[in-house]
Amino acid sequence: MNTSILTIALASALLVGNNAAPSWQTSYTAAQTQVTAQKKPMVVVFGSGANGWAKLVRAEAPALEVSRLLAEQYVCVYVDTSAPQGQKLASDFGIAGGVGLVISDRSGESQAFWHQGDMSNDNLSQYLKKYADPTVAVQRTETTGSARTSYYQAPSTQYQGSIRSANC
């Protein structure tokens, strides 16, 4: 009987450790100080209302792995876009739809990733793993679903040779 109780207690302790919840800052400035001290990247999630960070995920709730990565590997900032100051910060970051995500590098000085809108748990987990890796050097801001503008020469009115397909 004592062995059973010990086993249950040990299993419970292990499960509690696996269910780490992210600690959300509401002050971007305080989070920047924490990034410098801890040498962790910052994740800024834009959403609305209480627990609005969870709206970043298309599913019912963020996966346990997403919560674990956020809790262990990032300084987390939640920006409530239903408040005027949250709307201003979202605008400063170019987030127009009320839901979005920005990830910084470990110095907090470069933007590593930008996304507007929600995403799947798998995609979010993939990006969180990528930018938590200390060997990843940020060269530019990676974006998803960004608009692409292409400029083409105006078509001539006269046929001037063969048409070739191009790999774009």
**Residue 8 pLDDT > 90, yes or no?**
no
pLDDT at residue 55, rounded to an integer? 87
**Residue 16 pLDDT > 60, yes or no?**
no
**Residue 156 pLDDT > 80, yes or no?**
no
**Residue 155 pLDDT > 70, yes or no?**
no
Please provide residue 49's backbone torsions phi and psi, each rounded to the nearest 5 degrees. Answer: 80, 180
DSSP assignment letter at 107? T
pLDDT in tens, 18-46: 558 899 999 999 999 999 999 999 999 99
Check: CB of residue 152 under 8 Å from CB of residue 98: no
What's the whole-model pTM score?
0.74
**Residue 11 pLDDT > 90, yes or no?**
no
CATH match for 20-140 among 3.40.50.300, 3.30.420.40, 2.170.130.10, 3.40.30.10:
3.40.30.10
pLDDT over 90 for what percent of the chain? Answer: 57
Check: CB of residue 140 under 8 Å from CB of residue 79: no
Report in angstroms the alpha-carbon separations of 3 from 7, 8, 14.
6, 9, 16
pLDDT in tens, 45-100: 999 988 888 888 987 789 999 999 999 999 999 999 999 999 999 999 999 988 99
- Residue 145 confidence class, pLDDT cut points 50, 70, 90: low
